[in-house]
Amino acid sequence: MATTTQQAPTNVVQIHKAQSKGESLWYDAWKRLRRNRFALIGAVIILLNVIMAVFAPQIAPQDFRKQDLLLNNATPRWVLNIFPSMVASDEGGYVTVSNKFILGADNLGRDLFSRIVYGSRVSLLVAFVGATVSVLIGVPFGLLSGYLGGRVDNGMMRFVDLMYAFPALLFIILLMSFFRASFVGQNATGITKTLSDIDAASGGMIFIFIGIGLTSWMRIARLTRGQTLATREAEYITAARSMGTTTPTIIYQHILPNILGPIIVTATLTIPVYISFEAFLSFIGLGVNPPTPSWGAMISEGAANIRSFPNQAVFPALALFLVMFAFNFLGDGLRDALDPRMRGVD
């Protein structure tokens, strides 16, 4: 008896201490995320990629434009060992062997590795800008629609339905050709001139951003609206309203922080979609302007001579895969961490 009465107070104190540390939702989520090894691997790969993109001039052995025409399609020895179908010229084959390039050279004699390093800039930019644009348009749209409700909500959601019904890929191809042909060229003036200058400076990326942004915000908008509808009826919202809180404050201070989790998760999980969109656009020649390297464009060039030089398509494809893999793992981990109830669903 004596021992129990002595132990009880210490237990109470311990629980009290643990609670007073005040673990916020975000800290809790971070703790869960830290335990998820795959998500961490994903995060590390993304981080390495960001470093690669930022320090591309330092990392790449040479400029991505530099051509060595005598060594076009040159391939180092170790690559030949992995790709048995490629036969070296000193063994009676067609491949020029040169260890000058780590992964080999493309058909214009440019270093594949340098181009992959610079190519990460395009993919990552599309990933982050795509996610940002879709959140910046989708979240306010969904918040407004969900909070206002009624006829406004109905109209706004019909608009989203309408946008959804467009075949996104076809629409983006149309948009790209429209932007390219209308705004690039000598006859551009005023705002179109500015846009076309930005486009030229970014290697043709600005229109990809606009195209992807215009076609990708609907999913976030729908999600935000659904979450807002569910949160709107919560008692703390009624309490806030009864205290005279204004609508904008309720939306941004009380609703938004509570629905941020699923939005972050969805935004992260759709990033791979943007990346593959860009890759495809560059693949069919509507993406970045050559000679700016993009993994999609590199795969396209490589796929054209896949029979002779498979390494030219396989390496950029692996790079693309690795980044998409990383974002998927991170997104999955974030979902488990931020909303454990959603685990395994969707």
Q: Which residues bind other proteins (CB under 8 A)?
A: 83-85, 161-162, 165-170, 173-175, 177-178, 181-182, 185, 272, 276, 279-280, 283-284, 296, 299, 302-303, 306-307, 310, 313-314, 317-318, 320-321, 324-325, 327-329, 332, 344-346
d(CA 160, CA 314) in angstroms, rounded, equals 38
Nearer to other proteins, 30 or 325 (CB): 325
Nearer to other proteins, 129 or 273 (CB): 273
Smallest distance, Å, CB 41 to other proteins?
Answer: 12
Smallest distance, Å, CB 143 to other proteins?
Answer: 24
Nearer to other proteins, 139 or 279 (CB): 279
Residue 206 burial (CB count, 10 A): 19
Smallest distance, Å, CB 62 to other proteins?
Answer: 25
Residue 265: helix, strand or coil by DSSP? helix
CA dist list (Å): 181 to 173, 191, 194, 197: 12, 15, 15, 14
Smallest distance, Å, CB 254 to other proteins?
Answer: 31
Smallest distance, Å, CB 333 to other proteins?
Answer: 11
Would you state the structure tokens that stand for residue 221, as one six-digit string? 């908008």
Q: Which amino acid is at 135?
A: V
d(CA 21, CA 8) in angstroms, rounded, equals 21
Smallest distance, Å, CB 162 to other proteins?
Answer: 5
Nearer to other proteins, 152 or 284 (CB): 284
**Got the DSSP string for 190-220?**
HHHHHHHHHHHHTTS-HHHHHHHHHHHHHHH
Q: How many residues does the chain have?
A: 346
Nearer to other proteins, 130 or 272 (CB): 272
Nearer to other proteins, 255 or 311 (CB): 311
Smallest distance, Å, CB 6 to other proteins?
Answer: 42
Q: How far apart are the first and last CA of the chain?
A: 53
d(CA 110, CA 100) in angstroms, rounded, equals 11
Nearer to other proteins, 125 or 303 (CB): 303
**Got the DSSP string for 39-97?**
HHHHHHHHHHHHHHHHTHHHHSSS-TT---GGGTT-B-HHHHHH-TT--BGGGTSSBPB
Smallest distance, Å, CB 223 to other proteins?
Answer: 14
Smallest distance, Å, CB 210 to other proteins?
Answer: 13
Sequence-separated (6 or more) residues with CB below 8 Å from residue 337:
29, 30, 32, 33, 36, 39
CA dist list (Å): 60 to 63, 64, 78: 7, 8, 19
Nearer to other proteins, 27 or 94 (CB): 94
Nearer to other proteins, 182 or 289 (CB): 182
Question: Given CA atoms 317, 320, 325, 328 in this order, what sign does their dihedral have?
Answer: negative
d(CA 76, CA 98) in angstroms, rounded, equals 5
